[in-house]
Amino acid sequence: MKQTPRASDPSTTVPVETKNPQTEPSKVAKPAPARINRAQQARIEKFWKVVLFILLCLGSIVFLIPFWVTLMMSLKSTADIAGTPLWSWPTEPSLQNYVKVLTNENAPFLLFFRNTTVIAVLSTVGVLITSALAAYAFARLNFRGRDGLFIVLLATMMLPGIVTMIPTYVMYKYLSWVDSFLPLWVPAWFGGGAFNIFLLRQFYMGIPRELDEAAVIDGASHATIFWRIIMPLSGPALATVGIFALIYNWRDFMGPLLYLNDPKKQTLELGLRTYQTLNSAQWDLLMAASILVLIPLVILFVVGQKFFVRGIVMTGGK
């Protein structure tokens, strides 16, 4: 008979399995990582929004400082400017400087304002119409050499204006346009500028072509598609181009300086320069004249800011 081995016999001891705490996976409950990530991401986004807001506020203050100084100096007298800091509020605010500027017979600002308005409005209307037509052709029509012609158009944006200044002046002189408003607004009716064409073309390319195809099926021509479909949808882009064109023509100094010789045909920029020559030491009057030149542009941007931002966003969408 076989004898069963005793438990005390070391040769017959049954091995016991031991657990290593280092290799054993932890059984502690972990929090949901997705919930933590979302909370951290929300805090990070909120932090960067606050930082961005602070930077924008600081940048706005930096850009508004020159305007504030100009406004404060225009409300001060000559003695007040000499005795107080430039950015401080005037001790006795007065609009007398603006009255003097508007009633100065040697530099009639109301006449300068009328001349500038005529030139700026005619130029802006020409830019809107002709640049919209050219952009429609580049965006919607298929003709031979279209892409190459568009590249040449964009290349003209890299050509400095100083290069064409003398040939352009000679051409206008042979046309007997010197000392008239014609050189300042007629060129705007021949294309409207490469940048404006490019901006509107990008906007037109974002309009679905299905609208054109549906109109063609109904018998519409390209003129009908342009005026009844494309133009009504181009409000934000046209507002952007119009604001750019109006500001450029309102602030143009070199063009009127070259082509206008009659003092009665001067624009606001030339009139401001004339006023500076007549009153070089009276900074209160110069600042008041500068504010008068700037007020229409501020009003224009405040009124058209909504369309301006929307046009920039939509034209950059494609």
CATH number at residue 234: 1.10.3720.10
- In the predicted structure, residue 24 carries a pLDDT above the cut 90: no
25 assigned to some structural domain: no
Find out whether 101 and 88 touch, Cβ atoms under 8 Å.
no
Task: Check whether residue 189 and residue 44 sit in a common domain.
Answer: no
Higher pLDDT, 121 or 218: 121
Q: Flag whether pLDDT at 21 surpasses 70.
A: no
Q: Are 195 and 258 contained in the same domain? A: yes
241 & 109 share domain: yes
Q: Is residue 91 part of a domain?
A: no
Q: Are residues 56 and 126 in the same domain?
A: no
| Shared domain check, 109 and 41 | no
Residue of 35, 80, 56, 312 whose CA lies nearest to 199: 312
pLDDT band, residue 175 (cuts 50/70/90): very high
pTM recorded for the entire structure: 0.77
* pLDDT digits 0-9 by tens, 130-140: 999 999 999 98
* Structural domain total, the chain: 2
Residues 71 and 156 in one domain: no
- 270, 119 contact by CB (below 8 A): no
The tokens for 253 are 């100094």
**Is residue 33's pLDDT more than 80?**
no
For range 260-273, the mean pLDDT: 89
Residue 138: inside a domain: yes
Range scoring the smallest mean pLDDT among 84-88, 205-209, 306-310: 306-310
Res. 10: pLDDT tops 50: no
Domain of residue 79, residue span: 35-83
Which one is predicted more confidently, 49 or 20? 49
Provide DSSP, 63-114.
HHHHHHHHHHHHTS-HHHHHHS-TTSPPSS--SHHHHHHHT-SSS-HHHHHH
Q: Which three-class secondary structure state does DSSP give residue 33?
A: helix
159 plus 301 within the same structural domain? yes
Domain end position, chosen among 83, 108, 141: 83
Per the prediction, the chain carries an average pLDDT of 83
User: Given this model, what pLDDT does residue 31 score?
Assistant: 53
The answer to whether residues 168 and 288 belong to one domain is yes
Whether residues 232 and 267 share a domain: the answer is yes
Same domain, 134 and 65: no
Q: What are φ and ψ of residue 225, in 5° steps?
A: -60, -40
Across 21-25, 188-192, 209-213, 263-267, least confident range: 21-25
In a domain, 27, yes or no: no
The CA angle 82-84-89, to the nearest 5 degrees, is: 130
248 and 106, same domain (yes or no): yes
pLDDT-derived band of residue 12, with 50, 70 and 90 as boundaries? Answer: very low
